[in-house]
């Protein structure tokens, strides 16, 4: 009997493995979607500018209204640095001393950037390299431009706004109002032409310039990050990851719920979760999760990044050799979108392109699935597998045949590689069991595999139970 697996899906730990569609994965590490139904290994990264010697706590970009001049900014050791046009060396901003460990917020109005960290004085810049104390502004760490004003908040429940059209003036036509409900303001962002004001209790309100409305939810973000794709925002809280378009938040993380929280308490650690960096880059949502262990496969992933493909509605995991502490993205002088991140040592990195390693370290890719072939109670004999990939593929097909999901009882056997792009691989004599676990592994530093699927030759063993 031949079973063909050519619809490779995403990570699915919510649905019982006996109900999964053939091709869905119970492990997916360092792979991304290729063509529909196919997977490929993710690219790597290399260093971006010099190390700053202390943890990177923030990365962001400001492009001037002219569209021809921009700066990348980072915060390291409580100091704000800039890099002009994304290629200049890190340079300390004038009046750039912030609070150590701060993750500042910022907003731009009338080609002037306002920045604050919630402890140090709020300040502004019109030249991108030096900042002036905005003496009349409130101390805040979340900012948003809305209806030609800068809104600010984050230290308590008061939301402040600047004078119309003047981000440095918080006296002439400025005021504030209190956001009701428990907790403090936890972010500020715009969606569907409304200013959204979440609180760290999970509550959210929206403001249209005249009326304040309660969104009647407790599923707002409890992390300080909000990511965007098209007209959707991505929010994270202890219940999962949610999409938000102005109405009630909608959960999208059900397939990886076990990695966020589970009965074994091995999901995202609370102290990590509250500061987990999050960003969208080219339709991929990335959320730094730290060390996680799901309680289905019992596999631990260090330096884990939760990855969501918005276009294909699929989840997976990435694992960088350097754990990100901040994410950033910008459009360079060639109009190409770039993705950068920083780590705890003060080094920043640029991801993607032709990079094949994580700053010289090999990238280990793993895909794992399980097949019961519509008869989980009946033993089977496995004969051959035909694997299909790109010429030069250095991945190996491994299998474990058994009757249990217990990790310690999986005895993995490599059937071989398929460097020619197509390979017929024979199972050893005596390859019998009820469940077939299959795994694709690869640690090449010379290429990125493309995997299109496989076909399996097997037969039921009649009369056996």
pLDDT for 322-368, tens place per residue? 999 999 999 999 999 999 999 999 999 999 999 999 999 999 999 99
Predicted confidence at residue 270, as pLDDT, reads 82
Dist CA 212 CA 156 (whole Å): 17
Residue 300 banded pLDDT, cuts 50, 70, 90: very high
Our CA angle for 251, 253, 258, nearest 5°, is 130
> What pLDDT is stored for residue 296 in this prediction?
86
pTM of the model: 0.95
The answer, yes or no, to whether residue 57 has pLDDT greater than 80, is yes
* pLDDT on residue 286: 98
pLDDT the model gives residue 464: 64
Whether the predicted pLDDT of 5 surpasses 70: yes
The pLDDT, as a whole number, for residue 409 is 85
**Considering only CA atoms, which of 356, 361, 369 is closest in space to residue 435?**
369
Whether residue 132 has pLDDT greater than 70 = yes
> Is the predicted pLDDT of residue 465 greater than 70, yes or no?
no
174-228 per-position pLDDT tens digit: 999 999 999 999 999 999 999 999 999 999 999 999 999 999 999 999 888 999 9
- Token pair of 268 as six digits: 């995202």
Nearest to 1 by CA among 460, 461, 415: 460
Q: What is the spatial distance between Cα 342 and Cα 74, in angstroms, rounded to a whole number?
A: 9
How large is the average pLDDT for residues 262-271? 86
- Rg of the chain over Cα atoms, rounded to whole angstroms, equals 25
Read off the pLDDT of each residue in 380-393 and give the average, rounded to a whole number: 94
Write down the pLDDT at residue 102. 87
What is the pairing mode between strands 112-116 and 194-198? Answer: unpaired
Q: What's the rounded mean pLDDT across residues 378-407?
A: 92
Q: What is the pLDDT of residue 322?
A: 98
**What DSSP state is assigned to residue 186?**
-
Beta bridge partners of 351: 45, 339
SS3 state at 173: coil
Q: Which of 26, 22, 23 is CA-nearest to residue 38?
A: 23
pLDDT at residue 69, as a whole number: 94
The full set of domains in the chain, from first to last, is 2-42+365-460 (2.60.120)
For residues 5 and 451, what is the distance between their CA atoms, to the nearest angstrom? 11
């Amino acid at each position: 009997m031949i079973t063909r697996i050519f619809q490779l899906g995403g990570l699915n730990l919510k649905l019982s493995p006996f109900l999964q569609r053939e091709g869905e994965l119970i492990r997916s590490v360092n792979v991304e979607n290729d063509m529909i139904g196919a997977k490929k290994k993710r690219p790597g990264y290399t260093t971006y500018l010099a190390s700053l010697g202390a943890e990177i706590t923030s990365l962001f970009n400001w492009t001037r209204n002219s569209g021809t001049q921009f700066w990348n900014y980072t915060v390291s050791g409580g100091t704000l640095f800039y890099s002009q046009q994304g290629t200049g060396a890190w340079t300390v901003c004038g009046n750039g001393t912030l609070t150590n460990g701060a993750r500042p917020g910022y907003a731009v109005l009338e080609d002037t950037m306002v920045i604050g960290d919630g402890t140090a004085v709020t300040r502004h810049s019109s030249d991108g390299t030096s900042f002036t104390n905005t003496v009349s502004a409130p101390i805040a760490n979340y900012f948003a431009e809305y209806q030609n004003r800068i809104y600010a908040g984050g230290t308590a429940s008061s939301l402040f706004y600047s004078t119309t059209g003047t981000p440095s003036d918080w006296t002439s036509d400025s005021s504030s109002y209190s956001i009701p409900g428990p907790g403090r303001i936890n972010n500020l962002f715009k969606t569907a032409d409304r200013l959204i004001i979440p609180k760290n209790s999970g509550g959210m309100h929206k403001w249209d310039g005249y009326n304040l409305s309660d969104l009647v939810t407790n599923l707002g973000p409890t992390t300080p990050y909000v990511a965007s794709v098209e007209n959707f925002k991505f929010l994270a809280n202890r219940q999962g990851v949610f999409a938000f378009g102005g109405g009630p938040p909608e959960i999208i993380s059900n397939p990886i719920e076990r990695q966020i929280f589970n009965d074994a308490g091995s999901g995202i650690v609370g102290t990590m979760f509250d500061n987990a960096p999050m960003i969208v880059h080219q339709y991929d949502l990335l959320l730094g999760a730290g060390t996680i262990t799901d309680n289905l496969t019992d596999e631990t992933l260090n330096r884990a990044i939760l990855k969501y493909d918005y276009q294909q509605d699929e989840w997976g995991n990435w694992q960088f050799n350097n754990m990100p502490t901040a994410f950033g993205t910008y459009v360079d002088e060639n109009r190409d979108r770039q993705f950068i991140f920083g780590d705890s040592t003060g080094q920043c990195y640029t991801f993607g392109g032709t990079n094949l390693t994580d700053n010289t370290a090999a990238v280990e890719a793993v895909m794992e699935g399980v097949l019961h072939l519509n008869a989980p109670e009946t033993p089977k004999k496995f004969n051959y597998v035909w694997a299909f990939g790109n010429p030069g593929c250095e991945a190996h097909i491994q299998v474990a045949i058994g009757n249990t999901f217990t990790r310690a009882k999986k005895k993995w056997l490599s059937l071989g590689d398929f460097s020619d792009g197509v390979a017929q691989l024979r199972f050893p004599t005596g390859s019998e069991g009820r469940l077939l676990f299959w795994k694709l592994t690869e640690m090449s530093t010379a290429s990125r595999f493309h995997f299109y699927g496989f076909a399996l030759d097997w037969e039921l063993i009649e009369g056996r139970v």
